[in-house]
Structures are given as C-alpha cells and as structure tokens.
Structure 1
C-alpha cells in the first residue's frame, strides 16, 4: 500500500522526530511512504483567523501537492479536520471542487488510519507509567476520533491509561484563540494539567502537537512533574528493546 505523508507545520518546525516516527510506524505495517518535499501548510492558521482568500491559496497548493490515488496520512487531527471540513468552505462549487472531494476521502489522521484501515493496534511499544489521553477538539469533534487512540495506547507495554475530569474539555490553544484571549487560554491549560495531575498521571498524550505545545508551556513555566507526548512517539517508544 502506498501512503502519502503530510507533515504539519508544528511538527515540521518543532517536533521533527515525530514525523520520522510516523514513517517508522507506517513502514512497520507494510506501507510504502511517499513524501513530497514541496509540501507546506494546509492553510488552517489563515482560515481560523478569518483570512479565507489567503487560506484558499495555501489550500490550492495542498491539493496540488497530494494525489487522489493514495491514502494521505498525517500525525495531526487538527490538520486533517481542516482539510476534511474547512476545505468545504473554501472549495465547494469551485473549479477545485471534485479534486478536493477526492483528497478529502483519502485524508486520515494516523491513529484512525492504523485502527480503521490497516486494522493494527499493537506495535511492540513500551512506556512505563500512568497516562491520560487528551481528546483534542479537532480529533473528537471534527474527525470523530475517540476510541482509536485509546485502543492503541491500551496495547503499550507498561502503560496504564486513566481518564481524568473534564476529559473532553479544550486545552485552551484553539489556534489564534490562545493569542487573542491569553488569560482564558492559560487558565484552560492550567485546568487541563491539574486534572491530569489529580489522577497522578506521568504523561499527557494527544494526537495534536499544537495542544501538547500549549500544555507543555504551562508545565515548563511552573516546573510540574508531568510530560507531554505525541501518540506517535509513544507507539514507537521502546522499539530498541525488541
């Protein structure tokens, strides 16, 4: 199976190892990974800020950078949600309408792809400790992803997955929301981290680097005894011991 990889901006610039780990997982399940080095952004920052004309220009490039022939996988529910939903606002009844629909049908967040398409949920990963899974707004509400990451994490050796209070509440990032409403955003991050600490979690795990960046900033500022990890990095942890 050939799979095209889309690497989101946050991961490309701040968590490149997560991108490489995504390739490792896809190759482990037998996929031939295709990476187009000309790819850039999906257009979500401009779209969320209300600059739809600018977002459409970036979106047109995305549609040209990927094909309708293969699955397209990204380690980010946020970007997948933008392409599957936001592109409806940008390209419905446009000259790119049909091509956009083809791309949307092929677009998958990694955990959804592994569980629902490849039908694999065990990768020999090992991570000792207690973790909470943070349901990002994009994963839960836009991509309808809830059970897939938990199914994958349940098969990580040594990891105890627990639920926390207000499990489905936003972390406060929300793209430009964190900039426009800094005080509210920080308070939401504080609440999310505190709920994780209340259940004695060692890790906060999510499908979205943007959420993890938001939570890590609060954790680092207050020097709290908890770490943030992307789901991809958890699924490839401990592989050297296999």
Structure 2
C-alpha cells in the first residue's frame, strides 16, 4: 500500500518559539505511517497582514503559499489560526479575481493537525501518563473559522488518565489576537486576566491549548501574576502522554 503523504506547515510562531511543538506534530503524523513533506522555504500564512488590512500585500504571501504547496496532497498545520487563514480567508481574499478557483482548491486541502488525526486517521492512543486534571483554551480562529476545536478536545478526552475540566467562559478570547495585543495592550491585559481567573477556578494542573500564540500570551501573564498552573501545547501534551 502506498504511504499517505502530507505537507506540513510549521507556522511562524512554531518555527521561532515552539520548534519542539512542531517536531512533536510531525512525530504524531509519522507514528501513523504518514510521510511528512516539510518545505524549508515556507513562510507566514499571511494572517497578521490580513487582519491589519494590508490585503494586497497578503495576496502576495498567499500566492506564494499556494504555489509552494502545489502538489495535490493534504496540507497539515499545528495551529487553528493559520488553518483558518488557509482554509477560509484565502477564498475571501481572492474572491472576484483570477486566482479564486486556485484558492478554493488550495483551501480544500487544509487540515488542522487535530482534525487530520481525528477525522482522517482515526487515531487511537494508549495513555501512558499518570492521572491528571487539565483544562482547555479554545483559540478564536480555531473555534469560529477553522472549526477544529471538537477534534482537539476529542483527542484529549480519549486519554484514559486525563480528566478534561472545561472552562466556564471557554469561547472568550484570551486577548492575544496577534497585532491586537500590541495595539491595545490595556484591553488585552484585562482580557487575559479574566481568562486566568477562569483557569484558576478550575483547580487543574495543566492548561492545554492548540495555538502557540494564545499559549504564549496566557502563560506569560500567568508567570507575571504568580499563577501556578502549568501549561502545554496540545501536540506536546499528546506526544508526552503516548511516550513519543
């Protein structure tokens, strides 16, 4: 049987701040017998410029990506934000242009990693860790655009020694929002502080999230506030639990 092949898009934050997470994502795919193709000349998905209103500049980035990942195989990303940008926003970006059909075909090949593991590979994990209570933060783009949160939470719940205790206000933004946290730092800080109060109220050992930006924002604020809750990216958590 021919081995399944996928492209792997590591994301900007993944490449610069969370290299281990990116590698764990690749390991999770390879564990299922997937051949992972990593394009060394990959770049940003274009979301920062798109959200800031630089649409023409974003089109240049998007066209680069669409041409770079040209083979008709899935493109897997360890981030709901970038997956949402690829899967949905590219179509809107090129609506009414000569590249609209190319964008639609490109977007049809996009999978956030948890979605691919859950829906395409139907993974089954043996949990090798100790009993632990965790909570989960849903990234806004993953929740509302990529719509991959259900798969992420399903993977967590499948671990027999892990108890997932949901946040009361899970669907509220953590205040990161990419450039939003730079432009509106006071509002961003108020939002992340509310998120942290919710996390503290759950009495859990770990906060799990599927997007590095949110996790960096929340974890940084928790350190400043002296909050003792540990934190881990979803794909680091899964890899640790199954002994990769």
State the partner residue of 2:193: 190
User: Which of the residues 38, 45, 66 maps onto 1:35?
Assistant: 38
- Corresponding residue to 2:116 among 110, 113, 117: 113
Whether contact under 8 Å (2:91, 2:107) holds in the other structure is no
Q: Post-superposition shift, 1:225? A: 0.3
Q: Which contiguous aligned blocks of 4+ residues in structure 1 show a shift greater than 6 angstroms?
A: none
Q: Residue deviations 1:196-242, cap 9 Å, x none? A: 111112111111111101101101112210122111111100444x8
Give 1:177's aligned residue. Answer: 180
1:79 and 2:82 aligned: yes
Query: 5 Å matches for 1:129-140?
Result: 129-140=132-143
Q: TM-score, normalised by structure 1?
A: 0.94
Counterpart of 2:57 (choices 54, 61, 72) is 54
On the 8 A contact 1:136/1:206 being kept in 2, the answer is yes
Q: Residue 132 of structure 1 contacts residue 164 of structure 1 at CA under 8 Å; is this kept in 2?
A: yes
Q: Kindly indicate whether the alpha-carbon contact (under 8 Å) linking 2:125 and 2:242 is maintained by their aligned counterparts in 1.
A: no
Structure 2 segments unaligned to the other structure (5+ residues): none
**TM-score, normalised by the number of residues in structure 2:** 0.93
When the two structures are aligned, how many residues end up with a matched partner? 241
List gaps (5 residues or longer) in structure 1: none
Residue 205 of structure 1 contacts residue 229 of structure 1 at CA under 8 Å; is this kept in 2?
A: yes
Cα offset, 1:89, TM superposition: 2.8
Aligned-residue CA RMSD in angstroms?
1.6
Residue 19 (str. 1) matches residue 38 (str. 2) = no
- Per-residue CA deviations over 1:136-178 (Å, capped at 9, x if unaligned) read 1111100122321111011235321101211211111111111
C-alpha contact 1:189 1:218 (8 A) present in aligned 2: yes
Say if 1:140 and 1:158 are closer, same or farther in 2 by CA, change over 3 A.
same
Residue aligning to 2:238: 235
Aligned to 2:169: 166
